[in-house]
Each structure stands twice: as C-alpha cells, then as structure tokens.
Amino acid sequence: MAENITATQLETYSRLLDLGHLLERQSDRMLREAAGMTMSQYRALIFLRNSGGEMRMAELANLLVATPSGATYQLTQLEKLGYAERVAARGDDRGVVARITQGGRDAVAAVRASQNDLIWDAVVAPLSAAELGMLHELLGRLQLQLRGGTLPDMLPEDAPAARG
C-alpha cells in the first residue's frame, strides 16, 4: 500500500478526475441538444448496439459502472424516448434483457457528427499523433487496472476513417 503520494501523483489523479467531469459535461450538453439524452444513456445505447442489440441488465450495469437500480433508471429514461426497451430473456422466464430499438440506433447515428466534432476539439486537436497514441495506451492500461482486465468496446461497427 502506498503511504506517501507525491504532489505530481496527486495532481495527475486530480487532473484525470477533472478531465472526466469536463468531458462528460460537454458530452451531456451536446447529447441533450441533439437527442434528448445524457452521456450515461448514450453509453448504454452504444453497449447495447455493440452487443448485437441486447444484453442482460446486470451486464449493462457492469459496463456502465452503475448499480442495478442505476442501470434500470437509465433504461427507463431511454424507453421514454423510444430508444430502448425491456424484453423477456429467451429461455429464462424470469430474466429481462435490455434491447436497443431502431429509434435508439437512429439517435446514435444522428449525434455522430456532433460527437466527432466534440472529440476532435477536446482530445485530438490539442495533441500530436504520437502523443495521442501514447495517451491512448496509458489510459487503456489504467482502464484495465480499474476494470479488472477487460475493456468495453465503444467503437461503432462502422467507425469513420481517421480525421486529420
């Protein structure tokens, strides 16, 4: 266990937290304006889409780093928007899965250009290609550490060509 954290180590941690909050705030604003949803709800749609369209609620909660009730709340909000639905799990009378609807797929597609602009301005433009590659590697290592060895896939199946 680390007993003494240096000022640089503490500041690095603080900067990561700050960046996460700033990026989420900007993403939330853009997503609310473009599709009436939050970043958490958008992430839920991405996970559903990338899983083939549906998944068990417990798995969705794990990917969202949320409690089961938190994931249920997000799904309820997405249902109200017509972006997702709950359906009975095949072969499990008591099981429920979350499923993205065509409206949800359309909403994800509708925000793509705005999201790409936000990512470009906030993350890509300020860094060189080498710096971005290094940041990607380092953040991936931190994610693996905190997530216990697995990373969620946020990349769309039809990822656009690199810009720049």
Q: What is the pLDDT of residues 68-97, one digit of tens each?
A: 999 999 999 999 999 999 998 888 877 889
What distance in Å separates the CA atoms of residue 117 and residue 136, rounded to the nearest whole number? 18
Host domain of residue 61 = 25-111
**Residue 74 resides in a domain:** yes
**CATH code of residue 52:** 1.10.10.10
Asked, for residue 64, whether it belongs to a domain, the answer is yes
Lowest-pLDDT range of 8-22, 47-61, 146-160: 146-160
Instruction: Please tell me the predicted confidence (pLDDT) of residue 2.
Output: 73
The helix/strand/coil state of 44 is helix
Domain contains 123: no
Q: Are 117 and 163 in contact (CB under 8 A)?
A: no
Give domain status of residue 125, yes or no. Answer: no
Please give the backbone phi and psi of residue 85, each rounded to the nearest 5 degrees, phi first: -150, 160
Q: Of all helices (H) and strands (E), which one includes residue 108?
A: helix 102-119
Would you state the pLDDT for residue 162? 43
Residue 164's pLDDT is 42
Does 127 reside within a domain? Answer: no
- How far apart CA 77 and CA 85 sit, in angstroms, is 10
pLDDT exceeds 90 at position 161? no
Average pLDDT, the chain: 89
Would the pLDDT of 32 be above 80? yes
Confidence of residue 160 (pLDDT cuts 50, 70, 90): very low
Sorting pLDDT into bands at 50, 70 and 90, what band is 163? very low
The answer to whether residue 77 is domain-embedded is: yes
* Residues 132/36, Cβ–Cβ less than 8 Å: no
Q: How many domains does the chain have?
A: 1
The pairing of strands 96-100 and 54-56 is: antiparallel
* Coil vs helix vs strand at 84: strand
Q: What is the DSSP letter of 163?
A: P
Confidence of residue 123 (pLDDT cuts 50, 70, 90): very high
What is the CB neighbour count within 10 angstroms for residue 64? 18
The DSSP output letter for 1 is -
Rg of the chain taking only CA atoms, in angstroms: 18
Instruction: Examine residue 79 and state whether it is found in any structural domain, yes or no.
Output: yes
Does residue 82 belong to any structural domain of this protein?
Answer: yes
Model-level pTM? 0.77
